[in-house]
Structure 1
Amino acid sequence: MPYRVLILSPDAHDVGILRQALGNARDSPFILEDAATLADGLRRIQGGHIDAILVDLQLPDSQGLAGFDRLYAAARHTPILTLCGLDNEAHAVEAVQRGAQGWLPKGFFDNYLVPQSLRNIIERMKVERGLYVAQARAEITLNSIGDAVVSVDMLGRVDYLNVAAELVCGWSREDARGRPVAEVIDLVDADSGHTIISPADEILHTDQPATLSGNAILVSRQGRRVPIEDSAAPIHDWDRQLVGAVMVFRDISDTVALTAKMRHLAQHDFLTNLPNRALLNDRITQAIAISRRNNTAPALLFLDLDKFKHVNDSMGHAVGDRLLHAVSQRLVACVRTSDTVSRHGGDEFVILLANERRARDAAAAADKILLALSAPFVIDSHELHTSTSIGISTFPLDGTDAATLIKNADTAMYHAKDLGRNNYQFFRQDMNTRAVERQLIETSLRQALERGEFTLYYQPKIDLQTDCITGVEALLRWEHPEWGLVMPERFVSIAEECGLIVPIGRWVLSQACAQLVRWRDIGILDISVAVNISAVEFRHRDFFAHALAIFDATGVDPAQIQLELTESVLMHDVAASALLLGKFKAMGLQIAVDDFGTGYSSLSYLNEFPIDVLKIDQSFVKAIESGTGAGRNGAIVSAVIDMGKNLHQRVIAEGVEDVAQLAFLKDHKCNEGQGFLFSHPVNAAQMQAMLGNGWPG
């Protein structure tokens, strides 16, 4: 059945391009009509039988959003897309907020996706017309049938309870129907005992979704007190009028202990159980605040184990991890309970001496640590010897905030290494070696793009059920003429700080797309390429426009591109992130959350964004085999896999290095794996050979 589309535009050229683009569409042809003024368009709309409207916001008798509002009032149930130039996308965005289904940028009318997108929008609107009210009720209640569900009418009277709600509240559906929701759902604050207003009542006044605080207690009809977790949402009719509210809640008595454990994990290192960077920063800030009142001088000790890499390389990561755990125990034994021992990452530790008054007190602690770590460690019958280099910074001489104190202690630690290791050094202002290196890297980075020193390596992703390669991740490498192959951890943060990450990121995306096209041209199909997007790049105002230009220039199929972003990048500005991801999603791109589980503890964003893939952080995968931590972190991995299944998202495990991890992931039906067990990152030629021959499994 053809679709009848009305084009409202005074620009004959634009109308002609749209007629050509839509007139050539196959399968579902369009019947096109056009009008040059809003008045003519409104008269045509009154005649009915219009399936979609494409409107230029600059009409002779209507300028901007006022005209859109009139058009929307006349055709509120007809899909409307605005036609806009790149210089007035702000109006297009606001039009979407007022009811438009989207917009078409001028200059892209002839894109092959335009007919497909228009058909999808029209069909979606047709479905929504018949199912709107039923879907609102079914989506909130039927999909949560395992939880307690209560709905109310506009007077706040209960009109529905499911079986789970009857059990929790102690009310039968017949007894509860028609009663005020506050009587059936009796809520109090766990700490104060004060009555909490029902979220359903709140929604009837605000017409906005609501949730309960984490301390909500439901008092049942029989007096039983049940801690609950709640969400509530308004119910609207087709005309967007509020007709009631629905509450979905569950008994969380059995999850309180798990929540406490997860909170602990968010602030502690999984391997050593020491405070992590986030908790350390909080404690440093607290120590500084207290020192101003108590006239103390907090000190930081930044430790790096000498020759730890040799242990990892010669005896394996499992032994290295056990050594780190043993070191952490000795460090804790060297300090007071008021001090903080933190694992900073890798083989680096930071110790906060919170209540010091003199510099020699920090020196005494450093001497004690050097002595403690000089004794051999016995691990799996191996006698291991290590030492440490320590840098010391003190407040306020060497910094007045956590970041500065850590940075200066780090600088002093490198100076201690330069002086022969196994010693400590206090920070001095002339210790600028790392600053000089940073400047050198920045200068070289500015020339690297022009000289063609960057290259991409690729690491395959393996379907764990079929053992086939499903895609690859593009990984940036810097082939410096003097330094050799430079890994990203040495230069990416500097590139972000000085703004070079944006042009470098464009180069990476362009090269990855071009390589994908080259593979397609020689018959390597059905392969996706994942590209990491940094925070600075994602937030750049022209990121979408430049990505679109790259896709057009290379001829790549956007459906074969996967953008990888971390949780923290997405959560920086939820609304802006959702809008931008929606635009990419409309083009067919896949969206992946990288390092999943290491960022925000709230999982609500999983429903805010169009996410296709969750990548389990390699720290959780690595911990599957790590002693007593295996059960705990294995549970986290399996929970993420189950979560992905329930949300219809693919789950990829990063950092798979041994067969025990692989067996665990396969047993729990993880979709894909990536890591050294399958392949190290390789250059494009090696990856091409692997794609051509297939991974041997």
Structure 2
Amino acid sequence: MINKDLNSGIILVVDDYPLNLEMLCACLLRAEYQVLVADTGELALEIAASQQPDLILLDIRMPDMDGYEVCRRLKASPSTRDIPVIFMTALSETDNKVQGLLLGAADYITKPIHPQEVLARIQAHLSVRHLTQLLEQQVERLQQEIQRRQQVEEQLRQVNTLLEHRVEERTTELLAANTQLKQEIQHREEIEKALIREKELAQITLESIGDGVITTDEQGKVEYLNPVAEQLTGWKNHQVRGQSLSQVFSIVDELTRQPLENPVEQVLHHAEIVHLTHHTLLISREGTEYAIEDSAAPIRDHQGQIRGVVLVFRDVTQSRLLSRQISWQASHDHLTGLLNRQAFEQKIMAAITSAQTEEQNHVFCFMDLDKFKLVNDTCGHPAGDELLRQITALLQTRVRTADCLARLGGDEFGLLLHGCTLADGKEVAETVRKLIQDFRFSWQDQVFSIGVSIGLVKIDGYTPDLSSVLGAADAACYAAKARGRNCIHVYEIQDEERAERHRERQWILEINHALREDRFRLYAQKIVPLNSTTDSKKYYELLLRLVDETGDLVRPMAFLPTAERYNLMLAIDRWVINTFLQNYEQLISQEQEQQTECLYMINLAGSSIKNQEFIDFLKVQLTEHQVIAQSLCFEIPETVAIASLSQTREFIQTLKQLGCCCAIDHFGGGMSSLAYLKHLSWDYLKIDSSSVKEIQTAKIEYALLESVNKIGHAMGVKTIAEFVENPATLEILREIGVDFAQGYGIDQPQRLLR
């Protein structure tokens, strides 16, 4: 009986005999099949490729191309090779049938054709194909769920045309699939066990970590609180399941006290990780406040859909308190609690900006206590500290909330009066002066009257910068002291000149005291070769520092200009030479342990080079230390060399005779002097720092430095670039071909002698 469910297929009939075509088409149409016909092999191949019939009835004997060739081409094409082919033939020889089957034919029908046999065979093969397609679909579904189905798929694709073989192969495949499924089941069981272990481990982790963890569902309802979350919120896990997070997790901004947005709702709305602000407070069920840091992240399933939110937060109350303390200490004076100098300077810069942009006027009062040193020297530092604390408390009673009071250092205070005219500032300063004048400081059995000298500076739209304000205030305060102390002075232009003379006198005293008290220190900074891999010698430049009375290090540019102006460099250069030579054996023993040779570069002032007594002193010292002379190189500034050319030439000759090297320092600032300097016997040329500092951004400076380097090499000397502050500058110098480099980007100066 014909199965009508399978009669909807498309049958291609290929036969060059019209009567056969007519008979077969009538038979197939009665059976409700769709029929395509072809009377040649070429047409059959074309129709099969384009129409994709479900089955092909193919005559073997045709004039242009026989059925075997058509079958061979059908099976060779990926698009038609799976279409079942039934040969129609009048040939009964077994060899012909075998040949057809070997070419991939599914069956054969012997002419004359019997319609019932044709329909039965067609239905059988369509059934087989239908079953095959069902099997392939099943295999494909299995492949999606079980990743290791390639063997099964490969076996299914190898189903041959013979039904017996198909059944046998399918049985084999099912057995293999069963084995595979067992393996998959075992694998899944192992995965489930691993997941259970991971879940248990995650649970233990959640209960053990120091962070609070809250999870919610996709509606923001609480599902879980770990023990830390329970402790910080004041709620138990079983109490809050199913509740809204806002009922459990109450957070506010610690600065404004305003409620903050629910982080879980933010995650659900934006579908991304959310971090709270740095000023978040968690208020527990009991009202306890905790400073917290937290983040909330979506929980997604394997399809990427959000199934909930995890909120992780930690108690940072102590660290935030410590951070505030550190921040406060960084900006406040530890003795008085007032702003320190650095923080106060930020306030002044802000005042300058507001004066320039908002046309506001401010006044800066620079206050220096008049008798602080007397109290300190008479009663000791504890008394001085107590005096500063009492003065601070006294000043705070007269300072407006909008104003800013600071301790600038020592016995100096600063008061910034915001939105204040100069006339009003003078009144405030006078009030402060009288307040301190009337104050009496008692320490043990002694009572002291304390005065204050106040310098006033107006800050308005014409004020250029911070340094001008500080310089003017310092000058005005000095003028107040010069007028007899305990008075007020408003800044005038000539005050700076007087203050500068005062500072110079102070530096003269300080330098002389430092020489007598041995408060100078020698430091050394490395000079490194840039392009040489064979130079094993170590190079250093000796640098000078001064230790002031408070023990702080003072850089040379603070005091050397005064020393040069008032002829103190001779004494300083003598101190440097004496100190270095006296301790040279200690230095050289350290280097000999490392088996390295060293060269030390020492700066000399122009006054020393031109002073015969100093030259004689240097001869004596270097003659006594002939071995040392070979390790010394004296630096002479370009300006000194050109100003005293003949004396410089003689000095260099003397040094050469003693075995020393010579370097010209700050070369490049006066290129016009090259005609004179090229005849001097230099060993090293130190390039002026102004060219080095701007070499990255200024093309002219790059070209100038490159020219100076070439000039040095043309003179037969090694070149050294100073003030190298970063790797980029160092790389440019290496490309140009500079021989050596030094600077804070390479090495920080180190104390030479302890």
Q: RCO higher in 1 or 2 (8 Å CA, sep ≥ 6)?
A: 1
Give the shorter-chain TM-score range: 0.3 to 0.5
TM-score normalised by length of structure 2: 0.35
Larger-Rg structure: 2
